Amino acid sequence: MTQIRPFTLAIPQSQIDDLHQRIDNTRWPEKETVDDWSQGTPLAALQDFVAYWRHQYDWRRCEARLNGLGQFMTEIQGLDIHFLHVRSPHADALPLVMTHGWPGSVIEFMGVIEQLANPADGGQAFHVVAPSLPGFSFSGKPSGTGWGVGKIGLAWGELMARLGYTRWVAQGGDWGSAVTTAIGVQQVEGCIGIHLNMPIGRPLPEDLENPAPDELKALGALKHYQDWDSGYSTQQRTRPQSVGYGLVDSPVGLAGWIYEKMWAWTDNAGRPEDALSRDAMLDNLMLYWLPATGASSARLYWESFGAFAPQEVPLPVAVSAFPKEILPTPRKWAERNFPQLVHWGQMPKGGHFAAWEQPELFLAELREAFSKMA
């Protein structure tokens, strides 16, 4: 049960052909009645994106890249966990577990993994472990309840121990932030500190009386999220099975659901492609389409949405604050929960998908942050 098994992707061509056929048979809705994204993904933008997916995108390129990095499976608490594992050639490398979120995947880290493991500039190196969350990508889909972020955090501790790492650090944003925070709260054995690019904090009543500029910005972002951007999370935390039927059956439905978040959550000039390449977004989308995880990934919201709440972390914590984060937390709010806050990096650009959007800034932040915990 504790065996580490190599995992190689070899998607049958019949699955690619089926995807193409489903795209060809799409029944499109009429155009939105506005000239912006306020009603969701615009028809013309999605048709253009999907046309690229159908006629130009090459899945085999992504498949080869994932296989080349090193993919593995291991069973933890009765569930198969898929993960990337890239060992550094450097003797002083620090083991690091990185956790993605929704609607992301391990694809978020593809631009930083090799530089983390074997930095060209001779900086701090890391042994990189990037698991796929339960119900996401090629990890197993829980058949019962209970796989919330606390259990996932403990599972990551078991994974690191199984790989032989007795002293390690953890990093995450979005659901990865919730899991990484849970690792810190539970003081999972072996973890010496964490880094977050979406820390969770909330204002106290006195903060609302005379808020500072960064607090005003955060309050405005929270209100925007609640009023205009939280419909997906309400659906996924209350009815993940209902929304899952469409996401599993229709590639265009899945693309419209996720492509909109690439627009709303990145630091862009009006188009998702300003922040992320189409190939990168489609690589990520394929990790939802091929294993049919539209329902199982949404179910994490049902299991654990309450985890996005302030919690005290007794371990050393580092934070990188990106300006277009969807739920920004001012340092003042974060310090209440992180008594050992060792680093706070205020970034000049970037959004919710930190490593994906701004790999160089992200790399520099991790090296500086974890140098203060070693």
Catalytic residue IDs: 174, 301, 352
CA distance 328 to 322: 8
CA distance 34 to 74: 48
Helices marked H in 56-106 — which ranges?
A: 59-69
Helices marked H in the chain — which ranges?
A: 13-24, 43-55, 59-69, 113-117, 149-162, 175-186, 213-224, 231-238, 240-249, 251-264, 278-289, 294-304, 331-335, 354-357, 359-371
CB atoms within 10 A of CB 11: 15
Report residues of the chain scoring pLDDT below 70.
1
Partner residues linked to 195 by β-bridges: 171, 318
- Summarised one tens digit per residue, pLDDT across range 101-137 is 999 999 999 999 999 999 998 889 999 999 999 999 9
Read off the pTM.
0.97
Q: Are 247 and 288 in contact (CB under 8 A)?
A: yes
Backbone angles phi, psi at 128, to 5 degrees: -100, 125
CA distance 126 to 96: 6
Q: Are 157 and 188 in contact (CB under 8 A)?
A: yes
Res 121: pLDDT: 87
- Say how far residue 110 (Cα) sits from the centre of its chain: 12
Res 1: pLDDT: 66
What domains are defined for the chain? 60-227+304-371 (3.40.50.1820)
Please give the span between the terminal C-alpha atoms of the chain, in angstroms, as a whole number.
32
